[in-house]
Structure 1
Amino acid sequence: MAEAPSKARRPRADAERNRQRLLDAARSVFARDGAAASLEEIARTAGVGIGTLYRHFPQRDDLIEAVYRQAIGQLGEAADRLSESEAPVDAIREWLLLFIDYMATKRLMAEALNSLDGGASRVYAGSGDIMREALGRLVRRAEAAGNIRPVADPFDLLRAVAGIHYVSPGEDWEPGARAMVDILIAGLRPG
């Protein structure tokens, strides 16, 4: 008698919690210690054993990549959530502020990301598309509501905000980027 095909099982709730705790701890420890961050320290910070870390992330690169992919995925999900809960212009503003948080995480994790086998470009692939689509949905919604002027390329808003990071690469770039968001929003409003 043939075996029934097995269904893909969803991870147990405690396994999902442990994975999330590991990602949170890794983001923090990599930001603090860079590429030299100890996996044992990440497990300890997460409150799990090293075996649990390796069950979820068999290689160091898997963990670094998962932290980055989670951050970029959260940006995409935030656009939908903000679109449902905020007025169109407020949704754009809040999303751009989340983008600044993403940039801060990416900056803090740069050393770890650059330590990936083959470099970080493989991990970054597709990130621009996620951001472009997420912000594009918010901008088109605000345009349709008549709350902002037409925007030829919503990605220009990201370039303006990210540009602050590159022009002022020191520790003090975030206040300037947050101020740029308000300048951009004011400039988008009709009238």
Structure 2
Amino acid sequence: MPTTPRRTRSDARQNRERLLEVAAQVFAEQGLDTAPAAIAKQAGVGVGTLYRHFPTREALIDAAYQRRLTLVCEKATDLLPGRSAAEATRAWMTDFLHYATAKSGMSEALNAVIASGVDPYADSHALLTGAVGTLLRAGAQDGTLRTDVTSDDVLLLMGGIAYSVRHGTKEQAGRLVDLLMDALTKDQTAN
């Protein structure tokens, strides 16, 4: 007799989400040295709950990174209602910089995931270009963004800005985002 998949209880989903949020923050700030029990305690769950969801440290790191990536990519669509595509793109860039900073902080932890044979970045490029593509298409429709740039162009420039956050100041990064937005919203008839 076939069985139907069991639905995850809402409290179990909430526990999982809390664990992922805390883990991403802890790994970004403290690296690999934090004990899983400390992450579980900070998330307000037992260590058994942590291991039930994530049997290894690498599984927890990978899931925390994937969650952050998914959230920043979904934000592109979430920001569009009620504002122009240019405004949504500017707001998304700020979220992207938070994501990139956290990812940089998690680099040691993500390297441990890679060493275990898992590629946490396998879907990153496709998800990020999809998110930027959503914003660029909306900008083409509402006329607020240039149509002669690609998602890859924007992501490459955002990567450079993310680098400046790690090695410069947040103020400098803000100025660079403003410059990028000026380029993306440049009046195309001025040529």
Name the amino acid aligned to 1:37: T
What is the match of residue 176 of structure 2? 180
Q: Take 1:85 and 1:9, find their aligned partners in 2: how far apart are those partners?
A: 38
Q: What's the offset of the Cα at 1:119? A: 6.1
Which structure 2 segments of 5+ residues have no match?
Answer: none
Q: Among residues 44, 54, 65, which one is paired with 2:41 in the alignment?
A: 44
Q: Take 2:156 and 2:20, find their aligned partners in 1: how far apart are those partners?
A: 28
1:34·1:108 contact (CA, 8 Å) conserved in 2? yes
1:7-18 correspondence to structure 2 within 5 Å:
7-18=4-15
**1:120-160, Cα deviation, whole Å (9 max, x unpaired):** 87111120111111101111211222212223312212211
2:80·2:88 contact (CA, 8 Å) conserved in 1? yes
Q: What's the offset of the Cα at 1:117? A: 4.9
Shift of the 7–86 alpha-carbon distance from structure 1 to 2, 3 Å rule, reads farther
TM-score, normalised with respect to structure 1: 0.89
Shift of the 117–158 alpha-carbon distance from structure 1 to 2, 3 Å rule, reads closer
Q: Take 2:114 and 2:132, find their aligned partners in 1: how far apart are those partners?
A: 31
**1:22-55, Cα deviation, whole Å (9 max, x unpaired):** 1121122212220112101101111111111000
| 2:185 corresponds to 1:189 | yes
Which structure 1 segments of 5+ residues have no match?
Answer: none
Shift of the 54–131 alpha-carbon distance from structure 1 to 2, 3 Å rule, reads same
Shift of the 120–97 alpha-carbon distance from structure 1 to 2, 3 Å rule, reads farther
Q: Take 1:62 and 1:175, find their aligned partners in 2: how far apart are those partners?
A: 35
**1:64-123, Cα deviation, whole Å (9 max, x unpaired):** 000000011112211111123421111111111111011011011111111125368711
| RMSD over aligned Cα atoms | 1.9
2:62·2:120 contact (CA, 8 Å) conserved in 1? yes
What is the match of residue 21 of structure 2? 24
Q: Among residues 119, 135, 138, which one is paired with 1:138 in the alignment?
A: 135
What is the match of residue 33 of structure 1? 30
Alignment identity in percent? 36
Number of residue equivalences: 187
Shift of the 14–71 alpha-carbon distance from structure 1 to 2, 3 Å rule, reads same
Name the amino acid aligned to 1:89: A
Shift of the 150–8 alpha-carbon distance from structure 1 to 2, 3 Å rule, reads same
Q: Take 1:174 and 1:74, find their aligned partners in 2: how far apart are those partners?
A: 22
